[in-house]
Amino acid sequence: MQTQSPRPNNPSPEDARADVCRRDFVRQAAAAMSGVAIVVIMGESGAGASEEQAVGAASATRSSAYDPTKHRYIYLIDITKCIGCGACVRACEAENNVPPHYFRTWIERYMVSRTGADLTDSPNGGRDGFEPRVTGEDITKAFFVPKLCNHCSYSPCVQLCPVGASYRSPDGVILVDEKRCIGCGYCVQACPYGSRFLHPETHIASKCTLCYHRITKGLKPACVEACPVEARKFGDAEKVGDEVSELIATKAVGILKPELHTGANCYYVGLSQEVR
């Protein structure tokens, strides 16, 4: 049997150039593969990025002692308490450097007449509150509805992201890996709640993160902390005796667009049929 001669310790100039070419090829191939779109396959958690990727991508924003597998965050809004002051919107803007006229959370005002006419507005996302409005209708009920990302268990935005930039972390928060995002806008179109936008400067998908940099350090989201009437509450379903978990279990609560089966984790007290 013929055996191959071992590579000499001191290669010829031709062999050295060949080695350089091979190394360059490997480096270029690796760089190209890093930009290849990841096929998004729906799984039990709403799929998209793997759990390992989710843990890694979120690690930069949380405390080193934080274990995301021991938490499952939920959010509750009591519509009967909201006064439409806009403090939550302003707090979110300041905490997360949200660009003007874009919103990670916003407030809508609903006014319903005796004839069933539904008049809804949200001037500047409710950031500056609401001025009295004369409608000419016989208004029988009016209320404010704060909205934000619903951090769905089966999130359409995660499923449709072509590069795995949108993902669900182990603690149930939908996040965006800004280093992966290519600004295609598919997730913005996929979200049935209108809670995403492309940042006008970075052209990267932006959304509510429940102030992930805060909650992983044991703090509340900025919007929850800023609410003067405690209309917003933040909880952890993995925590024994959690107030929000108890309220969801014992009160009549609803979610937005339940017919879509997204597994929304933002719950509402006092949700009226007119809310879209």
**Residue 11 belongs to some domain of the structure:** no
| Domains of the chain: total | 1
**Residue 70 belongs to some domain of the structure:** yes
Q: Which CATH number goes with the domain that contains 186?
A: 3.30.70.20
- pLDDT of the residue at 162: 97
- pLDDT of the residue at 62: 55
What are the tens digits of pLDDT across the range 119-170? 999 999 999 999 999 998 999 999 999 999 999 999 999 999 999 999 999 9
- pLDDT of the residue at 34: 41
Task: Give the contacts of 115 (CB within 8 A, at least 6 positions apart).
Answer: 137, 138
**Residue 33 belongs to some domain of the structure:** no
**Residue 227 belongs to some domain of the structure:** yes
CA end-to-end span of the chain:
78
Could you list the residue range(s) of the whole structural domain that residue 114 is in?
Answer: 51-269
**Residue 3 belongs to some domain of the structure:** no
d(CA 52, CA 161): 17
Q: Look at phi and psi of residue 106 and say left if phi exceeds 0, alpha if psi is from -120 to 50, else beta.
A: beta
Give the residues across from 266 on adjacent strands. 75
User: What is the three-class DSSP state of 212?
Assistant: helix
**With a cut of 50, which residues of the chain have pLDDT below it?**
1-52, 55
**Residue 22 belongs to some domain of the structure:** no
In degrees rounded to 5, what are phi and psi of residue 204? -110, 145
Place of tokens 């999130």: 155
C-alpha triplet 77, 79, 85: angle, nearest 5°: 95
- pLDDT of the residue at 107: 98
- pLDDT of the residue at 87: 98
**Residue 19 belongs to some domain of the structure:** no
**Residue 42 belongs to some domain of the structure:** no
* pTM of the predicted protein model: 0.78
